Structure 1
Amino acid sequence: MNPATFDREIITEMVEGAFVDVIIQGDPSLEDACLEAARRLVDRGADVICADCGFLIRHQAAVSAAVNVPVALSSLLLVPTLLRQLPTAQKLAVITADSRHCTEDMLGIDKLDERSRVVIGGIENGEYVRNQLVRPSVRVSVDQIEREVASCVQQLRDKHPDIAILLFECTGFPVVAAAMRRTTGLPIYDVTDLCRMTLASVTVPIRNEHRRGL
């Protein structure tokens, strides 16, 4: 939601009822509200639509079918592509806000040998998620997010030394991506990378008036 992140204006719409706990747990009743928000964004001129929680990938198919602009609701869409960047002996680690609800159907892979190369870790017991679950949510410092993510990554690497790429599911994690790249020495992808790639595919009018939705 930082306007400096991309070279486009950011416009937003709220998905009615999309509280953090509801999204993470996968309440299917959110789908109609997601569709309505996406259509409002298109009506307002959005030329790309993404979301502020990676768990909304559950509604990716429905939203992309409902509008006529590219839809990229979650960095988890990158999982199959990132696996193909690696030799078969190496693994991709997905770092999520809550590993208990980051289920296999959200990863977009069907082959058992590929599934075994994806490991999932979460910070569900930390202060960041705890503060996001209260209404209204409470801000957490970037330093605290970095500590929790770093601890999660270290635990995963201790168990799986063959991890070669990290993928951040949570849209709160990009603020620590640069620091984590330095400390881990690993390639790290997040939702901003997916958004930049999607935005690069969209023609920008000369008057630079196209807008995107977040």
Structure 2
Amino acid sequence: MKRVTGGKALYGASVGILMLDARFPRIPGDMGNAVTWPFPVHYRVVRSASPDRVVRQGAEGLLDAFVDAARGLVADGVDGITTNCGFLSLFQQELAEAVRVPVASSSLMQVAMVNRMLAPSRRAGVLTISGSTLTDAHLLAAGVPLDTPVGSTEGGAEFTRAILGNEPALDVELARQDNVAAALAMTRAHPDLGAIVLECTNMGPYAADIARATGLPVFSIVNFITWFQAALVPRRFDPPL
């Protein structure tokens, strides 16, 4: 057998995910449901980081807890760090400075790249769970232009209420309707949209429905971290026979 070298506590999970402390249902497609990923991931819950505290209260007082949890994941053996809330773009710089591995804190980081893919007359829009608390600071920390169109599920019947209220039950069909309706409203208000970036990591289950309804490509945390992981563990190709 070939000689191997150790040094990690855990192997096989290259991506470490910093999780909010929540109890709402996480269905397949949600970042916090492990079956969403085609590769192993390693989770760590940041205690007291509730959805309301992170999204509506600006994650005030939580930086040290997230840094400690990120360092713990690296100590366990992960090769890259992400989080399960787009609003944690606020901590991108501090997390990247605190650990020796790459950090992809927020789905919002995709916006600049998506804009580069589009014709000059088109731009990406952001769909968020809380438009009223998504600030310029969140956008700037992720490199998002401040004139980016933003749509929100806040006016819906289920999605924002259940997730930010940390409810123990979720009506999936109503949540789907909220996401699709918010995306359609944003595209009607901004006909120059060429793509949609989903800020919220709980929106992954509805990405296909949003794409079908709007006719636009939809970028979620799922495709972002799948791309991220492919760089952490590049695919090995066998030489030709």
Flag whether TM exceeds 0.5 (same fold).
Answer: yes
Distance 1:28 1:140 in 2: 27
AA aligned to 1:84 is R
Note the C-alpha offset of 1:27.
3.0
- Gaps spanning 5+ residues in structure 2: where? 1-31, 237-241
Structure 2 residue 144 is matched with structure 1 residue 129: no
Q: From 166, 171, 180, give the equivalent of 2:201.
A: 171
Residues 179-190 of structure 1 mapped to structure 2, 5 A cutoff: 179-190=209-220
Residues 9 and 29 (structure 1), Cα distance of their counterparts in 2 relative to 1, 3 Å cut: same
Q: Is the CA contact (8 Å cut-off) linking 2:153 and 2:182 kept in structure 1?
A: yes
Q: Is the CA contact (8 Å cut-off) linking 1:35 and 1:66 kept in structure 2?
A: yes
Residues 68 and 205 (structure 1), Cα distance of their counterparts in 2 relative to 1, 3 Å cut: farther
Structure 2 residue 181 is matched with structure 1 residue 151: yes
Residues 60 and 159 (structure 1), Cα distance of their counterparts in 2 relative to 1, 3 Å cut: same
SS in 1 for 2:79: strand
* 1:211 equivalent in structure 2: none
AA aligned to 2:153 is I
Residues 35-184 of structure 1 mapped to structure 2, 5 A cutoff: 35-108=67-140, 114-116=145-147, 118-126=148-156, 127-135=158-166, 137-184=167-214
| Structure 1 residues 10-42: Cα deviation after superposition (integer angstroms, max 9, x where no partner) | 221111221111101213311001001111111
Aligned length: 203
Distance 1:46 1:92 in 2: 31
Note the C-alpha offset of 1:204.
6.4
Note the C-alpha offset of 1:69.
1.5
- Structural RMSD (CA): 2.4
Matched-pair identity in %: 30
Distance 1:139 1:57 in 2: 27
Note the C-alpha offset of 1:110.
11
Q: From 4, 27, 34, give the equivalent of 1:3.
A: 34
Distance 2:117 2:140 in 1: 16
| Structure 1 residues 36-95: Cα deviation after superposition (integer angstroms, max 9, x where no partner) | 111111122222211111111111111111111121111001111111112222231100
Q: Is the CA contact (8 Å cut-off) linking 2:49 and 2:59 kept in structure 1?
A: no
Q: Is the CA contact (8 Å cut-off) linking 1:92 and 1:163 kept in structure 2?
A: yes
* 1:20 equivalent in structure 2: 51
